[in-house]
Structure 1
Amino acid sequence: MKLVTWNINSVRIRLDHVRQLVETANPDVICFQETKVRDELFPVLDLQALGFEHIHFAGEKSYNGVAILSKIPFDETAALSWCGREDKRHVNVRLAGGIELHNFYIPAGGDEPDADVNPKFAHKLQFLDEMTDWAAQSYEEGTRRIMVGDFNIAPLETDVWDHKKLKNIITHTVVEIDRLDRLQAAGQWVDAMRMHILPDEKCFTWWSYRARDWRTANKGRRLDHVWVSPALKDGVKSCEVLLDLRGLEKPSDHAPVMVEIDI
């Protein structure tokens, strides 16, 4: 199974980019974040025309929104609410064959890494705490689970272009990384990307729109992640950040991440 996760930053605006992804990478499953469209306007027919007959989504106008597109049938679909809000940051499915797939868009957290003065940062930390409780309570040994999405955290020093300059900047602070580590431990998740892009190698999936030449400057961060349960670890065959999609005209600021998993 070829699985892609991508913060698309408006699925309707970037349908042509999705077509190019399908033509060049031929994924079996795509997980979108920031679809930015109400459910009644979601481009179901356009995406089904690309071969994804099975689609599960939850959206709202202009903000957030997540979706799972699949050539593999779903046995079940669901979506959970977090932090007492209905802001469309999670959907999950059970693929035929029993694999549980969760797609998350974790809050960005604003600009000030202080939960006492920044409600957006407090929301992010609460969201991570609730995810950690959920992961611990729902974990069962032997279950085949995949969790993907825009986590809005770059945990490793090699996940950012400059650790010293960014260590007090939201996405790379100690408090966020500690929360992410707890979440990973709670579900015994394995970082599938770092199985094939080794931890001492720089790896980015997001580059600011402010950089005129993002490739040359390469001031990126790895905000997008693919985690698998231990039962799927040995099946992870490859991982690639699809940089060419970030280089298209009017792109998302995120590049898609594709992993190949033997299921």
Structure 2
Amino acid sequence: MQQFWFRTKAFGLSIGVHLMAALLIVLGTMEWEPFRPPSLEGLTIEAVIVDMDEIRDAQREAEQASLREEQRLRRERELDERRERELDEQRREEDLRLQRLRQQQERERLEQQQRRQQELEDIRRQREEIERQNRLEAERLKQLQARRDAEAEAQRQSEAQQALQEQLAREQRDFQAGRLATLGEQYMLAIQAQVTQNWLRPPTARPGLRCTLRIVQIPGGEVISAVIRGTCNADEATRRSLVAAIERTGTLPYRGFEDVFEREIDFIFRYDEE
């Protein structure tokens, strides 16, 4: 549009110059009727002569001026066109730069969004892992506490059972000891009765006799040997009579006294009758 305007302007200027030159030529060739001015006596009249060379020079000058103007306008057009191209190139480069900048910003925005989403995802996974670990730890502690409670209960029951068994054992021992003590007393009374039955009391034996004898026997009650052992307030004849009484007995009571049977026993012979 601007180029067309410059061309129109140059063309119009060239036409104007040519028209002016033609007008001057026409005026120079026309025959004019003599002009009869009023009488001006005393005035000086100067005639103007039109020189055709000057007209041609003016025309040539006008053409050269037109050519120069056209060249100037062409240079301006070319300069304007070059500037326009440069501006277009600058605009294209600027548009491209802005487009690349927007693309870069969009990529950065997307990358930042992805990083943020990844961070949020990592945080979510970490939170879930922490919660899972907490649940596992709570379950482990719960199981540990349950196991400890069970162990404590088992220990308590074991101790209670052991205490009960110990108590029963003590009671059993006490009962057995009592029973054996009673059975032992009965055993000694049975030996006393059997030895007394086989004792030939010498005349020197006196009431209040207490004499301890060591008797060796085998299972079944068979007597192996008998000797005076420990305290004995009898004379020698009475002592011999007591050993002889045990030897004559031969077999001491055994059946029913198995729990209190011993291979060696210390038997205290008693005599309190007159």
**TM-score, scaled relative to structure 2:** 0.18
Greater relative contact order: 1 or 2 (C-alpha under 8 angstroms, separation 6 or more)?
A: 1
In our comparison, the structure showing a higher alpha carbon Rg is 2
Pick the structure with more strand per residue: 1
Pick the structure with more helix per residue: 2
**TM-score, scaled relative to structure 1:** 0.19
